[in-house]
Amino acid sequence: MKMKIHLIVSLDTECDKGDGWNTIYPLSFSNIMEGIPNQLAPLWDHFEIRPTFLLSPEVIGNADCASLFRSFGRNVELGTHLHAEFIEPCCNPNALRTEAFQSDYPPDVEYAKLRNLTNMFRQTFGYSPRSFRAGRYGISRHTLTFLEDLGYLVDSSVTPYMWWWRRRGEGVNFLGASNQPYHPAPGDFRRPGSMKITEVPISMVNHFWDRFPRSILLRINPIQRIQTILINVLLKNRIRCRWVRPTFSTAEEMISVTEHLVRQQRTETVVICMMFHSNEASVGTSPYNRSAEELGAFLGRLEQYCRRLFSIYDVKPIGLSEAAELAQ
């Protein structure tokens, strides 16, 4: 009997970007209007995948993009994705890069941005979003409480084994978080607890950190400068994570990550949450896939992974918010 896999394919859906993730002005959306229907939709149809598009404010506010996503109907799930520069308060719509973490803002400003994003989605599509991911994964200790208050069922900002250090601001640390859906603790998104919202981590593994109990990892805080320096100097390449993400990983590497998560969980079902950006499915709209050859290789890795996955496991594709029922 094959192990059951619940497969989530989630896309951070944004305007066209150039080298270094620099925003292209005037804003353009060819990665959405051309890349999604021409490059990705045939793959979704073939494998009966129900992708989740997490929409950034500038995408929701574009009439053509909104019309395209409406046309997909129930074949896709739509959620929200906050790049804080594109929505009030403290809006900076001409920013060269969307590099702010929402955790950089005071709690009242962060909440207002999330509320405005949620209302913008509701006014555009006629219903409330149920799934969310922070831009650059930059959640704060308040984010999940805010999302729960706004009616969200699922957040998917946690990247296990990773920390995102900032020269300014406090950064965000996910070291020690689970790699399967869980209900987090209030004020601490790494620990399981009593919140109603479900955290659905992005699927990845790190064989070095897996040697340690989570209780030890939760005591490490690499976003503190001295710990970052020590970890990088002492461990170097041994701390590299492998993602279920065709941008960075081959089909074989993604299958290896999947097999590791299956062995690690030892349960009847395992959730695999793949992520990439909509920008990556089009030539010249992200720092990746700058040529037709590179785009073809990316799509090939994605298709090969799906073919292998469906041949090895009993795969059930689901939308991101459906994972709320699978939390441990």
Note the pLDDT tens digit of each residue in 130-142.
999 999 999 999 9
**The pLDDT of residue 322 is above 70:** yes
3-class DSSP string for 56-76: CHHHHCCHHHHHHHHHCHHHC
Burial (CB < 10 A; 0-12, 13-18, 19+), residue 236, is: exposed
Note the pLDDT tens digit of each residue in 280-320.
999 999 999 999 999 999 999 999 999 999 999 999 999 99
Task: Classify 176 as helix, strand or coil.
Answer: coil
Note the pLDDT tens digit of each residue in 265-274.
878 899 999 9
For the chain, the average pLDDT equals 93
Please count the structural domains in the chain: 1
**The pLDDT of residue 242 is above 90:** yes
Look up the pTM and report it: 0.95
- Chain-centroid distance of CA 307 in Å reads 22
Query: What CATH number does residue 136 fall under?
Result: 3.20.20.370
**The pLDDT of residue 166 is above 70:** no
Q: Name the band, by pLDDT with cuts 50, 70 and 90, for residue 48.
A: very high
**The pLDDT of residue 237 is above 60:** no
Q: Which domain holds residue 321?
A: 4-326
